[in-house]
Copies of this chain bind each other. A is one copy, B any other.
Amino acid sequence: MKLMNETVPVNFESLNGELVDVFNNVMWIEEAALKQSDFSDITLKDMHTIDAVSMYSEKSASQVAKIVHLTPSAMTTAIDKLVDKGYIERRRSNKDRRVVRLGLTHKGRVVYRAHQGFHRDLTHNLLKDMAPQETVIVQRAIHNLVCYLANVIKH
């Protein structure tokens, strides 16, 4: 375990604690919000699938599987469910008839936008009462995190 030293700001531990809090809870809160919404028939994981399918590009099933870290077989059943519930459409590509192109239905686009709204609210609240030059610093911090995580991925 690392010990604190003098160069670390005194409230490192409290920041760390709040960060852990955020990570442990966002997912659950998002899930709970979804259950109380008009789209209670899908889970947060379904939501992420819908998000990966997204609005404007026609991604293949395996591309989406990769994004959400599911195996192709799990993706198949996930899509089955979302097709049944009317959020996603399957179309066999004419170019290469092995591939399945995925797209959102009207209902899918509605829930996609709602989910985007949720995330925008988070971002707005992250920046609450911040001066423009302060928001830049926050942005740098989040960017640090993204870079670090990207590095962890490629060990």
Contacts and interface: CB of A to CB of B under 8 A. Distances in A.
Main secondary structure of the interface of A (DSSP, over half): helix
Interface in A1-37: 1-2, 9, 11-12, 14-16, 18-29, 32-33, 36
A110 to B, nearest CB: 10
Contact of A125 (B28, B132, B148): B148
A74 interface: no
Interface string A116-139: 110111111111111010111111
Contacts of A139: 9, 11, 14-15, 18
Interface string A33-62: 100100000000000100000000000000
Nearest to A10: B132
Nearest 10 CB-CB pairings of A with B: A125-B148, A16-B123, A138-B141, A128-B144, A15-B139, A18-B146, A137-B137, A9-B135, A134-B137, A126-B145
